Amino acid sequence: MPMTLFADADALLRCEKSYRVGRGPVPWRGLIVLLLVGGWTYGAAMGAYGGRPLQMLYSASKVPLLLVASTLVVLPNFFVVNTLLGLRDDLGAALRAVLAAQATVAVALAAMAPLALFIYASTNDYDSVTVGNGVIFAMATLSGQVTLNRHYRPLVARDPAHAIAKRMWLVLYVFVAIQLAWVLRPFIGALEMPTAFLRDDAWGNAYVAIIRKVTRFFIG
């Protein structure tokens, strides 16, 4: 099983075999397994900051949830946008592209789990580990972008409207994912806070918090 998983991850990163660029059936099973295993692995590492097994378990379940739920919320719009742009004939290939990108994010996160543990081992400062995790997520997202661009290159060459569909997907996906990450916090688990699946004030709004912080910064 682990060898199959590695072979699958390798094929995904290289866009080979069932993960090849272009049309064909979406390899649902492989993509879901990679997404779950990758997310679990990094989530467990992310929650290891305080050395609390329960927080590790919570974070391990929340990272795949973040990736899957963000995708599911945005998919209806992706479908309509592709149809409106006259790209329905390529929908299978476009779907393969976005799902492969999501799985790539999970695989990249898993690959950077040792990095997160290394950061935890080297500092106790909560702000530093938050920034470290932020950078890792940003790098994983860029890795996902590489896969997305590989899949989209022939599609855009065939019809430039695919570039619009891809951009709309990215904007809406990031918009939803940031809010979902805010709702699903804590992922790291500050030492002075009790272990919890969700914070007591989880149902806030990331954007309102950011806007108010920025306003206070500039206006006071």
Partner 1 sequence: MGKLFRDFDALLRGKFTRREDLLAGRIDVPVGTLVRAGLLLGATYGLFMGLYAVLRPENPSWLQLIVTTVKVPLLFLLTLVVTFPSLYVFSALANSRLRHLDTVKLLLAAIGVNLGLLASFGPVTGFFTLSTDSYPFMLFLNIVFFAISGLVGLGFPRRAVDSVFSPAPVSRVQSDLDESPEEGRDHDSPADEGASGDDADASDAPPPERQIIHTATMSPRPSEASARGRQIFGIWLFIYAIVGAQMGWILRPFVGSPDLPFELFRERESNFFAALLNTIEQLLY
Q: In the complex, what is the shortest distance from the CB of residue 203 to partner 1, in angstroms, rounded to a whole number?
A: 6
Work out whether 86 is an interface residue with partner 1 (CB under 8 A). Answer: yes
Distance CA 73, CA 79 (A): 11
Work out whether 160 is an interface residue with partner 1 (CB under 8 A). Answer: no
* Stretch touching partner 1 by CB under 8 A, among 31-39, 46-54, 73-81, 111-119: 73-81
CB 110 within 8 A of CB 2: no
* Stretch touching partner 1 by CB under 8 A, among 30-38, 60-68, 132-140, 205-213: 205-213
Work out whether 65 is an interface residue with partner 1 (CB under 8 A). Answer: no
* Stretch touching partner 1 by CB under 8 A, among 20-28, 42-50, 138-146, 197-205: 197-205
Work out whether 73 is an interface residue with partner 1 (CB under 8 A). Answer: yes
- Residue selected from 18, 130, 145, 179 as contacting partner 1 according to rule CB under 8 A: 179
User: Hey, what are 149's tokens?
Assistant: 């661009």
Query: In 10 A of CB 7, how many CB atoms?
Result: 13
Query: Which residue in 211, 147, 214, 149 sits closest to 179, CA to CA?
Result: 211
Beta strands in the chain (DSSP E): none
Q: 124-132, long-range: CB within 8 Å, 24+ apart, which pairs?
A: 124/191, 126/188, 126/190, 126/191, 129/49, 129/188, 130/188
Work out whether 91 is an interface residue with partner 1 (CB under 8 A). Answer: no
Cβ distance to partner 1 smaller for residue 40 or 182: 182
Cα–Cα distance list, 218 to 170, 205, 207, 211, 212 (Å) = 29, 20, 16, 11, 10
Work out whether 180 is an interface residue with partner 1 (CB under 8 A). Answer: yes
Distance CA 109, CA 196 (A): 22
Cβ distance to partner 1 smaller for residue 118 or 207: 207
Q: In the complex, what is the shortest distance from the CB of residue 164 to partner 1, in angstroms, rounded to a whole number?
A: 10
Query: In 10 A of CB 158, how many CB atoms?
Result: 13
- Residue selected from 1, 2, 25, 76 as contacting partner 1 according to rule CB under 8 A: 76
- Residue selected from 81, 98, 100, 148 as contacting partner 1 according to rule CB under 8 A: 81
Q: What is the DSSP letter of 194?
A: P
Query: In 10 A of CB 24, how many CB atoms?
Result: 12
Q: Site residues (CB under 8 A) for partner 1?
A: 72-74, 76-77, 79-81, 83-84, 86, 88, 172, 175-176, 179-180, 182-183, 202-205, 207-208, 211-212, 215
